[in-house]
Amino acid sequence: MNEVRLFEIVDQPIIIEDLIHKVASREVGAITTFIGTVREFTGGKKTLFLEYQAYQTMAEKMLSKIGEEIKEKWPDAMVAITHRIGKLDIMDIAVVIAVSSPHRKTAYEANEYAIERIKEIVPIWKKEHWEDGTEWVGNQLETVRYPAGRPIEEGELK
Amino acid sequence: MNEVRLFEIVDQPIIIEDLIHKVASREVGAITTFIGTVREFTGGKKTLFLEYQAYQTMAEKMLSKIGEEIKEKWPDAMVAITHRIGKLDIMDIAVVIAVSSPHRKTAYEANEYAIERIKEIVPIWKKEHWEDGTEWVGNQLETVRYPAGRPIEEGELK
Amino acid sequence: MIHILLFAGIQEELGMDRLEIESEGIQTVRELKAYLGQKYPSQVLKQSMTAINENFVTEEEEIKEGDTVAFIPPVSGG
Amino acid sequence: MIHILLFAGIQEELGMDRLEIESEGIQTVRELKAYLGQKYPSQVLKQSMTAINENFVTEEEEIKEGDTVAFIPPVSGG
């Protein structure tokens, strides 16, 4: 039997079925997936494509940590997460989270927990490419941006 | 362009990717799926296989109604639901719900709403086949069973 | 004529998946249930909801000539 | 020697994805950030978290010879 890698950063298209197979079993009755896709418009601005970068080894380690946190909170849940990096076009899949459980409530809750934690602790960055420029997006809760070159006051984001 | 049927009862295996494609678009950033699979053990009892029956035309109509309810509550969500009927083995997929939205919160909430409503208003029935017998399972909230032949007092489930 | 559809537990109890009856003397869902309950002993019928022409209705709903009435035992999809 | 990894906005500001510096005189993350901030003007560095050997640490954390220090700008995965 091949080793199943539950938490991966890849630079190729993500096959959703692969993640579902990783968490499926005779014991589970519910599997949820979250599929994050590249949206064309954000805040009225048209994205041409995105570029994702990761601190790969640490990112996989943090994804595993999220898996452990979920195991702690929902012992009967099983989780697999794959995040893609590199250039992604509109409608491409950036991330897939699959969670299985004997019970559906757990499958929904643990899945949502996973995406929230990814946006907090996993070292992955996204660069927007628009017609009129580019920008590395992000803060931990995705509420502000910091255009490269714009002076940001010290402490502003602390 | 072929007509896309968003709400279907089928007697063949469900292809998850098909549902995802029905709700994917350039406008969405989040797609959630719920995949209901046949579990081997329920309440300590071993299931050999399940048999699903539907009042097919009404079931599809009720699935559409759930879609309309979701459109009312979450106007930017898009939903597709397929439920399988007939004989299903352990690990087979009985139902897939796919919801897309520009925003992930909506995609989770609307998806969970859909499965809850399926369990309330869609005329589909499941028959458990065990080693020592069979039973049509169900009440609207899936909390009790009524073994065929057991006297049930009138009003008990009202 | 009233067309009646039977599913799941009721279908097994009555040993058939449909029947047709003359509508004379039967005006409401409640009356139809009472009529069938006498003719065919069924436990599941009592717990069932009713749909006329694919819409859920109450026991007070009137049944018209040519309607399709379905008894819907507690559902268990999903 | 301290190994330093740079990503995203910092990587672009500094024009490199890694650098190595002598660890003499630098004992904590705060001191390393101050040292780099003087040498390379960077806005993103100030907002960044820090990881040593792939674990998030505070600014008070001590840096040891041979450590790999990564500056983690606000993340935007998902």
| Chains A, B in contact, 3 or more Cβ pairs below 8 Å | yes
Q: Which domain holds residue D23?
A: 2-72
Q: A114, A18, A132, A8: which is closest to A61 by C-alpha?
A: A8
Q: How far apart are CA B100 and CA B22, in angstroms?
A: 9
Contact flag B104-A40 (C-beta cutoff 8 Å): no
Q: How far apart are CA B49 and CA A26, in angstroms?
A: 12
Nearest alpha-carbon partner for A39 in A54, A30, A49, A31: A49
pLDDT of residue A139: 52
Collect all residues with Cβ–Cβ distance below 8 Å to A86 and sequence separation of at least 6. A11, A51, A52
Q: What's the structural domain count of chain C?
A: 1
Say what the pLDDT of residue B87 is.
98
* B96 in contact with C, Cβ within 8 Å: no
Three-class SS of chain A:
CCCCCCEEEECCCCCHHHHHHHHCCCCCCEEEEEEEECCCEECCEEEEEEEEEECHHHHHHHHHHHHHHHHHHCCCCEEEEEEECEEEECCCEEEEEEEEECCHHHHHHHHHHHHHHHHHHCCEEEEEEECCEEEEECCCCCCCCCCCCCCCCCCCCC
B61 near C CB under 8 A: yes
Contact at CB, A39 and B31, closer than 8 angstroms: no
Which CATH number fits the domain that encloses residue D62? 3.10.20.30
- The pLDDT value recorded for residue B113 is 98
- pLDDT, residue D23, reads 85
D57 within domain boundaries: yes
3-state secondary structure D23-50: CCCCCEHHHHHHHHHHHCCCCHHHHCEE
C interface toward B at CB cutoff 8 Å? 5, 7-9, 11-13, 43-44, 46-47, 51, 54, 56, 70, 72-78
Taking CA atoms, B122 is separated from B117, C17, C49, D37, D54, in Å, by 8, 18, 12, 63, 50
pLDDT digits (tens, 9 = 90+) for C30-59: 999 999 999 999 999 999 999 999 999 999
Residue C78 domain-assigned? no
On whether residue C12 sits in a domain, the answer given is yes
Those residues of chain B that have pLDDT short of 70 are 1-2, 139-158
Domain membership of residue D47 (yes or no) is yes
Determine the distance in angstroms separating the CA of A16 from the nearest CA of chain B, rounded to an integer: 8
Taking CB atoms and an 8 Å cutoff, what residues of chain B touch C8?
Answer: 53, 125, 127, 136, 138
Of A55, A149, A157, nearest to D5 by CB-CB distance is A55
Instruction: Name all domains of chain B by residue range, CATH numbers in brackets.
Output: 7-38+56-123 (3.90.1170.40)
Distances (CA, A) of A87 to A38, A91, A122, A129, B41: 11, 12, 18, 10, 44
Residue scoring higher pLDDT (B157 or A78): A78
* Alpha carbons D4 and B57: distance in angstroms, whole number: 64
User: What interface predicted TM-score (ipTM) does this complex get?
Assistant: 0.91
Q: Is residue C64 part of a domain?
A: yes
- Identify whether C77 is part of a domain: no
Selected residues 102-121 of chain A with any CB under 8 Å from a CB in chain B: 102, 104, 107-108, 111-112, 115
Instruction: Confirm whether C61 is domain-assigned.
Output: yes
**pLDDT score recorded for residue B2:** 62
- B48: three-class secondary structure by DSSP: strand
CB contact under 8 A, D76 and A36: no
Instruction: Quote the pTM value.
Output: 0.91
- Per residue in A121-158, pLDDT (tens digit) is 999 999 999 999 999 997 534 444 444 333 333 333 33
Please, which residues bridge with residue C3 across strands? C20, C68
pLDDT of residue C6: 98
Q: Rounded to an integer, what distance in angstroms lies between the CA atom of residue C70 and that of residue A95?
A: 45
Helix, strand, coil shares, percent, chain C, to 5 = 30, 30, 45
Q: Are A110 and A102 in contact (CB under 8 A)?
A: no
Instruction: With cut-offs at 50, 70 and 90, classify the pLDDT of residue A42.
Output: confident
